Amino acid sequence: MKAALNSFKKKLAQLGRSMLVPVTAMPVAGILSRIASPDMLNIPLLKSAGDIVFGNMDILFALGAVVAFAKAKDKVSPMVASLLSILVLKSTLAALDETISMGIFAGIIVGCFTAWIFNHSKDWKTPKIFDFFTGEKFVITLAPIATVGLGYVLSFIWPPIQMVLDGFAIGIAKLGAVGVFIFGFLNRLLIPVGLHHVFNSYIYFNLGSYTQADGTVVTGEMTRFLAGDPTAGLFLSMFFVVMMFGLPGAALAMYKCAKKRKSEVKGLMTSSAITSFVTGITEPLEFSFMFVAPQLYFVHALYTGLAGAVCYLLGIRIGFSSGGNIIDLVLNWGLGSNVILIIPVGIAFFALYYFTFRFLIVKYNLKTLGREDDFIDSEEITEEEKNATLSNKNYAYIAKKIVENLGGAANIENIGHCMTRLRVETKDASLMNLEKIKQMGVKGVITLSDTSVQIIIGSEVQQVMAEIEQII
């Protein structure tokens, strides 16, 4: 039972990683679409370039899912197969039942289905005359053909599922402020296991529908808002309050409570707060207290939901393309409603986060940055290892030691990264030395199962990953 649960958690974490592909593609598309809108620069050609991304989210999700689950270092073949397969599925469903609308779920299912075919067919043996088409390229032939059958099955299975999902959307909407609170709370609560993208995706890309002037139908809170839907944005306004005001308040509290290394803590908290305010990327700041003080993180999740409920009750309606940051606030101000109220609400939440975090840290002696107990590892640490922290930018050495302490390149079955984490699957857990990895200056190590770990690097994860790719 435990093994099955660990396997399920691992698969969900991989699925969460796949959600990052479309999310990464959205900022530029959203900015293009917004600044080219009729009420701004009014450049239809530029707007259509941005809108094309929102019109093909299912394709992006298919690519994301196949990248997450295909077991290969070179994933070009499964990606090509996934692209062909999602086009085949859309055509098949349209021919069988035009009323079926799977949205992003079509992409997720096709991506997982293609990865499954790839993982099972890449080692199949065939007559030598077919060698060119087999091996890792075999999926390009098999997946689109198999997807026709998948489409036929889904034409029976999906309609009742679609009714349930629609009911969920309607139910959340009918709950009003309570529904928004639940969404905000779960949105943050799922971040530690990397599954918030799974939960977000339905709200962002499938909740509700809106028909534009040219007849194009778009779905999802994010896409509907950017398309000009006057009812969209109620589920998104909370993030401006939390990312621009609440979390910076938490950062100030942690700095004020630090007992040692004040200048270092000040630098880390300042840079993390600015990152949250300007870009909407919150992981560097959230990870600084998520594991050392989970009580604070639970409060943070509650306050995110509370911010959503308050914004809903005040009729604050604003959306984003990249996140609840100052850039999106300025660009999308004209599309929203009661946006000016973000400022007083944000100031109130800055104070709420600051005083709550400061009270809890002091009262319960929480070990946030600058308050850690002195610790001497019984295992000898070399001077070279002591100096090999991310602060000195020695990415090559850090990558080398991470690979070494994961059991070597041969023990790494799959490795990838999101905005702040390395996500690793190994073959033999006994070969890993996670304590040594923690000594490399990383921000934390999460064990999802015996062979699946996440190494929290921070904003420099891409540089570390680039060095790891040179090794393996």
When pLDDT is cut at 50, 70 and 90, the band that residue 192 belongs to is low
Report the percentage of the chain scoring pLDDT > 70: 85
Spatial distance between the Cα atoms of 295 and 418, rounded to a whole number of angstroms: 25
| 93-129: pLDDT as tens digits | 999 988 787 877 888 899 999 999 999 988 887 777 7
Contacts made by residues 469-472, CB under 8 angstroms, sequence distance 24+: 470/396, 470/399, 471/399, 471/400, 471/403, 471/409, 472/73, 472/403, 472/409, 472/412, 472/415
Residues 6 or more apart whose Cβ sits within 8 Å of residue 361: 253, 254, 257, 293, 296, 368, 371
- Does 311 participate in catalysis according to the annotation? no
Mean pLDDT of the chain: 84
State residue 375's pLDDT score: 39
When pLDDT is cut at 50, 70 and 90, the band that residue 155 belongs to is very high
Q: Among 40-54, 240-254, 272-286, where is mean pLDDT lowest? A: 40-54
State residue 213's pLDDT score: 82
Spatial distance between the Cα atoms of 308 and 292, rounded to a whole number of angstroms: 26
Spatial distance between the Cα atoms of 468 and 403, rounded to a whole number of angstroms: 7
Among 112, 257, 311, 418, the one annotated catalytic: 418
State residue 199's pLDDT score: 63
Backbone angles phi, psi at 209, to 5 degrees: -145, 155
Strand 217-219 relative to strand 444-447: parallel, antiparallel, unpaired? unpaired
Spatial distance between the Cα atoms of 150 and 102, rounded to a whole number of angstroms: 13
Mean pLDDT of 70-84: 89
| pLDDT for 378 beyond 60 | no
| pLDDT for 370 beyond 90 | no
Mean pLDDT of 51-68: 84
Domain assignments of the chain as residue spans, ordered by start:
56-174, 175-375, 383-471
**Which tokens is 256 given?**
């004020």
Helices (H) and strands (E) in the chain, counts: 21, 6
| pLDDT for 75 beyond 90 | no
Residue 116, class by beta-carbon neighbours within 10 Å (0-12 exposed, 13-18 middle, 19+ buried)? middle
Mean pLDDT of 298-318: 97
When pLDDT is cut at 50, 70 and 90, the band that residue 361 belongs to is very high
| 235-271: pLDDT as tens digits | 999 999 999 999 999 999 999 999 887 888 898 899 8
When pLDDT is cut at 50, 70 and 90, the band that residue 382 belongs to is very low
Mean pLDDT of 306-334: 93
pTM of the model: 0.61
| 333-348: pLDDT as tens digits | 999 999 999 999 999 9
Residue 69, class by beta-carbon neighbours within 10 Å (0-12 exposed, 13-18 middle, 19+ buried)? buried
The CATH code that applies to domain 383-471 is 3.30.1360.60
State residue 387's pLDDT score: 47
When pLDDT is cut at 50, 70 and 90, the band that residue 17 belongs to is low
